[in-house]
Amino acid sequence: MENQRFRFSETERHFNPDPVKSKLEALMNKKKDGPFWRLRYLYMGSSNVQKDVDYYGEVLGAKKIWDISSFGTRVAAFKLGEGPTLLLAEHRPAPSSILIFEVDDLRVASEELRKRGWEPLGERFEIPEGPCYRFNDPSGNPLALLQITRPNVLGKITEENDNPRG
């Protein structure tokens, strides 16, 4: 019985009798680049969340994962293709985006990066899934590091949550 977390073409099934095992082996053997594991979220500002939710869902065909209004703001999560989850955030200025990279251990990653001259913007802070540090690259592009300590706190975000890391 084929695992429903993965989709395979007829060609993949023809040339590989166990495509699930092959995909899992590829994920397990994936090497990380330094302390970063993967781009988890693209955190985008929105001037009108409802208009953006309609556009991403109805026009682009993105799958809405969740849509939450809390603490005086609204954030909606979408999957559009194979990349990171898109977060449309009312409290972020539009247009803007923050690349949020997942790390295995925020303390270890930040210590390793500090040795290379990295500096966070402000103190460590929490989002629903876990602790983060925000920082900018030399050109001022915003980025963040996130350690997932509370997986699926907002519901299942992506299929990759259940896959082993390499």
Residue 145, both tokens: 């590091």
- Distances in whole angstroms, Cα of residue 113 to Cα of each of 40, 41, 50, 63, 140: 19, 20, 38, 35, 17
3-state secondary structure of 91: coil
- Dump pLDDT digits (tens) for 52-83: 999 999 999 999 999 999 888 999 999 998 88
Name the band, by pLDDT with cuts 50, 70 and 90, for residue 99.
very high
Name the band, by pLDDT with cuts 50, 70 and 90, for residue 18.
low
For the chain, the farthest-separated pair of C-alpha atoms sits apart, in whole angstroms, at: 53
- The pLDDT of residue 26: 47
Domains of the chain: 38-162 (3.10.180.10)
pLDDT at residue 166 is higher than 80: no
Give pTM, 2 decimals: 0.70
